[in-house]
Structure 1
Amino acid sequence: MSGDVHPNPGPVSTRSNSASSVSSSSTVETIDLSSHFSFMHYNVQSIKHKLETLYAEFKDFDILSFSETWLNASTLNNDLIFDGFHDPERKDRPANSHGGVLLYVKEQFRYKRRHDLEIQSVECIWIELITKTKRILFGTFYRPPNTTAPEHSLIEDCIHLAVDTGIPDIIVTGDFNINMQNPDVSRKISSLCQRLSLTQCISDPTHFTENSSSLIDIILTSNHRLIHASGVGVPCLDQQVRFHCPIFGLINFKKSKIHTFKRHIWLFDKGNYQLLREKAANINWHQLKHTNINTYTKNITDTILSISKSCIPNKDVTIRPSDPPWFPPNLKKMIRQRRRYYKKAQHTNTEHDWLKFRTLRNKIITTIRQSKEKNIHQLATNLKTIQQNSKSWWACLKSFIKPASSSSSSIPPLQDGDDIAEDDQMKADILNDYFRDQTLLSEPENIAPELKGDISPLSTMPPIQVYPDEVMTVLKTLPLGKAAGPDGINNRILKELCNELSTPLADLFNKSLTSSEYPDTWKEAFVTPIFKTGDRSVPEIIVL
């Protein structure tokens, strides 16, 4: 929530042996969503027209759970997609368009839906998070205010099923509509916690009306040491008089950080190609020859890059996980200001301060909505621009119309036998080993088929000679707009220097053919795995 949370001093146990998992000195600045696995829950009272606000506010959390979504079959999953998250898990109320729960999990985490723990008439979703070090059951619930005793027993049975799995780490969150600050009614949760050894982690009010407050949105855990921090956030939806606050929790295990990486970019539109061709023509390419094919190739490559960098503007940039293009640039600053207004209004409880808070809250909602609409309008305008080529037209279209199966290029954790690969290097090694193995003969007794016809054992292939004019023809037809390979030489450079490089490259190719050696650098490539269908954690369902 962009730091817009109030940390709890620690979970308040509903059992006699009270436990605390975070010290009272914790502050909002100490909560690091980038290193700890995080989750949140929010009663949204209709989600369909609040998706942009919810995504902007909570996209940094790893699990997003929402109750009272008020969805039905007329709303497709594709209309609920969040960038960077798996397709949403949902359970709508079948009888009417109220109630319902919805859950999102970040793409970088592996999980599976546990339908076997979900009782049909209970509004809940269970998932099993699968990490390298542990498995966690995570359940999201909505218990309506008018729940009968038999219906409440079914909710308890649902949680019992999770406990009976034997998985030691269980987290339950949601809106239970039971005020934990009222001893007379909180016994329903307290007795459940005592029987199942659960700890309730939220201690501050989460629901407010005209003249009262209550704690009805809760977090239960079977292992109080699992929760690193928990608390209640600032309400961010336009709920006028009666409103819920989001609740959050951080789990005590480190997650793999999304690393930044360096990329070398060229400003080809500002290049001096006449000067580039002059420099290439003045180079003594014959002096770059070497008996070692790898050294020869390196000399040619380094020379091309050296003269190109002197004639074409270029620089190294750091690529970081970025906000969506419609994300308002001043939004995080406004959220911090809203938090200050909320704290002051809570402290003074004056109509003036509450009005200031509500005004800024509504301004943030409007800003997010207008920014998203402006971005969509700009994309629509770009699509109508006839000057765009087909590639940029399709890129523009795909930027806001994306199939659910291709919403992201990130690779989730991969199953490697009994192990789970979460690190990027481990994922790359698993995929490399799998696709390498596809080229091996599976049976040792397999032999090559017998060749038919008159085949002379003395038949030889005549020498292959590459000529400069052949190289020039190929260089002239290279497609532009393609990314460079590992050697860093872009097609634009090769095409601009097709005449000057035709002879040096022909000599290099002929050296490789006559020596029967292939340069090591030419064996390297950037390979992109593409998900097909099925379980994304299985290497077999990814193609190159």
Structure 2
Amino acid sequence: MLKHVKHRGLLNTNVKTLPGATIEHVACTIESMDLRSVSNVIVHAGTNDCGSMNFNIDKLEQDYRKLVHDLQNRISGKIYVSGICQRLDDPQLNIKVLQVNERLQSIFQGALTQPYRFCQRRDPGDWGHHLLPVIFVVKQDMYNGFVDMVHLYYVGFVNRKAIKQSIVPISMILGFEIAHLNIQSLRNKLDSVKTLLNEHNYDIFCITETWLNSSIENNEIWINGYEICRLDRQLSQSGGGVLCYIKNGIRFKEIYNFRVETIEALWVEFNLPYSKPLLLGNIYRPPSAKAEYLNELDTMFQQCTSTYNDDFNLDISNKKNAGKINKLAKNSNLNQLIHDFTRITNTSKTIIDLIFVTNLDISTAGVSSLGISDHSLTYLIRKTKKVNIPPKFIKSRSFKKFDEHKFIDDLKSIDWDQIKLSTDVNSAWLLWKSLFSSLCNHYAPLKTKRVKGSLPEWITKDYITLTKDRDYYYKKAHKNNDSKDWDTAKEIRNKVNNLNRNLKKKYCTNTIKENTKNPKKLWNTINKLIPKPKSTVNRVYKNENYTTTDKDTANELNIHFTSIGNSLASKFLNTNINKTTDYTLVDKFKFDYLTSDYIFDEICKFSSNKATGIDNINCKLLKLAAPIICDSLCYICNLSLFTSIFPYEWKQAKVTPIIKKEINQIQVSGKITLPKPLS
């Protein structure tokens, strides 16, 4: 319904999209959906019917009537029908679209409160071939928020400057999203931050007043899908601290050149696609800062060109303070984007969380009320192509329909002696792998599963619903400044905190009790409570430069691993060593040939839960097949010893670079994972 808009930001709304589906297909899909909790439905379908070679407007009307009739029998609310967008890029298709819209208007005229409205695309480079649709069928008796959003998105996409930032959610506007929040203790509110990032998925999330120090490791504050950059205070100092959560896949490096001892500032440079490098500063000014602080800040600003998320603790709604900030911005050619109150209590309103930019290439910026902290969230969306992080997939074998007896019977029917006819170890191995893998694929086929980020297991739907209620009442209290709203917001906030503690305590207690006799599951539970961050190498620094593509990163790592030996050897001085002992070989070294029993015993030692390697041969299937395949595998191993040739595929391995702390250049060690249990 809404092109180029992320539906996750629509409150109390479920958006179901069926790319390429006709009206008939939509009807079939809706039949299997549970609509008992649905109050109203908006239908937007018919574009694919118009593009069909068998287009028939009478059949389209018949399918549409059937679809609406079926919906009327299943929901108690209202049904609204949306028209199809005009396609100026395809005149023939556009004629059909106009015919369908006229027919729909004549059928469902009673459901419409506004005439059909179509908007032409203004920027083909941004929006592609589809025109921007406007939903015209919403009545005021639907929930008000959705009506307002529909209208605002029409205005916003045609003329972006007309977007009302106080109403349009940040999660619906496309671009590179940067947000900032003064949180006042990250550890106590980590679950709330996880819930926030799971819902909004910011590219960069800056935090001030983390209240962290060197005694707190990254794994204690790690969030799935993000990397961490942080600057803490000393152990002897309390409060303060700045941190950035950076989405995995975004290339970045910390900049140390601009750091000043008296200023808490974290500087990070980002290398975004189709864009110049972006330098971002996350700065915290404590309330006790001296008068010279702004002068030092001015000196630091003039050294760089960037975006700054600043918690100034200097209220610019005060004319005197506003003058100081304006002078600072003017001296450094900066533009301050935040003009709404960022910290609101029942007795005061201040603007102390600011965003400075040197480039006005910004889609929108604003303030969003949250109940996590007494500060509101500030954000900006930069007109930069959003970094598309490729999804992670894992392959595993499905044993859902696995029949062990038939699998064993078919294994016995295979002529494994044909492998012994081969005198080349590589050919013998490829033939063996082909025979075994084909049978495995038949009984336990490979399935590809997309790995999605998830919240901690103790966070329930009730908890998420309560956090949304908390944010709603805080937003209402900020707007109306009514004592009842403030009391309700604080009450719900306390409920959220208590519920979070109780859920976490209950989860830990139950899982530990259930797994006291199973150490493996017990440690898995402990690791979930304190996860270890998964370090990924997506950039490598060398000679003060860093790689910009995955290919460059892989090449630099390959150069490093292949040259590290010679590099280390060159650092040792040549020494003359006198040989005092003459070593002679007494017996000629040789390998003993293996037996089938030895191969069988080794296969039985495999762990059934061991991950598969590059060849996707599963350990569980190997153990089941061991009595049958051990003889053929023994022949391949002995052939390798006899010919002094190690099978080529057994030499392949996955190499994972391990990041060291405070890495400024290529300083990585290789963790080598063997590709298969057989090797």
Pairwise TM-score range, normalised by the shorter structure: 0.7 to 0.9
Matches within 5 A, 1:455-470: 465-470=593-598
Q: CA deviation at 1:494?
A: 1.7
Matches within 5 A, 1:300-315: 300-312=432-444, 315=447
Q: CA deviation at 1:45?
A: 4.4
Match of 2:561 among 426, 429, 435: 435
Give the number of the structure whose alpha-carbon radius of gyration is greater: 2
Q: TM-score by structure 1 length?
A: 0.75
Report the counterpart of residue 616 of structure 2 in structure 1.
Answer: 488
1:260 equivalenced with 2:388 (yes/no): no
Report the counterpart of residue 375 of structure 2 in structure 1.
Answer: 244
Match of 2:343 among 207, 221, 224: 207
SS at 1:41's partner residue?
strand
SS at 1:202's partner residue?
coil
1:56 equivalenced with 2:195 (yes/no): yes
Report the counterpart of residue 180 of structure 2 in structure 1.
Answer: 40
CA offsets 1:329-353 (integer angstroms, 9 cap, x no match): 4666666666666666666666666
Give the Cα–Cα distance (whole angstroms) in 1 for the partners of residues 219 and 606 of structure 2: 40
CA offsets 1:411-442 (integer angstroms, 9 cap, x no match): 35222455423555544443333223345686
Q: CA deviation at 1:29?
A: 6.2
Residues 46, 520 of structure 1: alpha-carbon distance in 2 compared, 3 angstrom cutoff:
closer
- List gaps (5 residues or longer) in structure 2: 1-7, 12-144, 146-158, 672-679
2:662 aligned partner, one-letter code? D
Give the Cα–Cα distance (whole angstroms) in 2 for the partners of residues 106 and 4 of structure 1: 25
Give the Cα–Cα distance (whole angstroms) in 2 for the partners of residues 78 and 134 of structure 1: 26
Give the Cα–Cα distance (whole angstroms) in 2 for the partners of residues 425 and 322 of structure 1: 29
Report the counterpart of residue 525 of structure 2 in structure 1.
Answer: 396
SS at 1:40's partner residue?
strand
Matches within 5 A, 1:302-451: 302-312=434-444, 315-329=447-461, 363-382=495-514, 385-386=516-517, 388-389=518-519, 391-401=520-530, 406-417=532-543, 419-421=545-547, 423-438=549-564
Q: CA deviation at 1:484?
A: 1.2
Deviates more, 1:361-370 or 1:300-309: 361-370
Q: CA deviation at 1:201?
A: 0.9
1:174 equivalenced with 2:320 (yes/no): no
Residues 519, 56 of structure 1: alpha-carbon distance in 2 compared, 3 angstrom cutoff:
same
Give the Cα–Cα distance (whole angstroms) in 2 for the partners of residues 251 and 343 of structure 1: 25
Residues 101, 251 of structure 1: alpha-carbon distance in 2 compared, 3 angstrom cutoff:
farther
Residues 302, 463 of structure 1: alpha-carbon distance in 2 compared, 3 angstrom cutoff:
same
Give the Cα–Cα distance (whole angstroms) in 2 for the partners of residues 474 and 32 of structure 1: 58
1:279 equivalenced with 2:422 (yes/no): no
Match of 2:369 among 222, 234, 241: 234
Give the Cα–Cα distance (whole angstroms) in 1 for the partners of residues 286 and 591 of structure 2: 80
SS at 2:291's partner residue?
helix
CA offsets 1:479-521 (integer angstroms, 9 cap, x no match): 3432111011122222222110112212333444555544432
Match of 1:82 among 222, 235, 241: 222
Residues 89, 173 of structure 1: alpha-carbon distance in 2 compared, 3 angstrom cutoff:
same
**Does the aligned pair in 2 maintain the 1:101–1:140 contact within 8 Å?**
no
Report the counterpart of residue 668 of structure 2 in structure 1.
Answer: 541
Report the counterpart of residue 152 of structure 1 in structure 2.
Answer: 291
Q: Using CA pairs below 8 Å that are at least 6 residues apart, which structure has the higher relative contact order? A: 1
1:534 aligned partner, one-letter code? K
CA offsets 1:303-336 (integer angstroms, 9 cap, x no match): 2233234445763322233333344346666666
SS at 2:161's partner residue?
coil
Q: CA deviation at 1:466?
A: 4.0
Report the counterpart of residue 74 of structure 2 in structure 1.
Answer: none
User: Cα RMSD between the aligned structures?
Assistant: 4.4
Q: CA deviation at 1:53?
A: 2.0
Give the Cα–Cα distance (whole angstroms) in 2 for the partners of residues 119 and 440 of structure 1: 40
Deviates more, 1:416-425 or 1:211-220: 416-425
Give the Cα–Cα distance (whole angstroms) in 2 for the partners of residues 396 and 202 of structure 1: 43
Q: CA deviation at 1:217?
A: 1.6
Report the counterpart of residue 281 of structure 2 in structure 1.
Answer: 138
**Does the aligned pair in 1 maintain the 2:608–2:619 contact within 8 Å?**
yes
Match of 2:161 among 23, 40, 50: 23
Report the counterpart of residue 53 of structure 2 in structure 1.
Answer: none
Residues 512, 92 of structure 1: alpha-carbon distance in 2 compared, 3 angstrom cutoff:
closer
Residues 85, 40 of structure 1: alpha-carbon distance in 2 compared, 3 angstrom cutoff:
same
Identity %: 21
SS at 1:86's partner residue?
strand
Give the Cα–Cα distance (whole angstroms) in 1 for the partners of residues 414 and 329 of structure 2: 80
**Does the aligned pair in 1 maintain the 2:214–2:234 contact within 8 Å?**
no
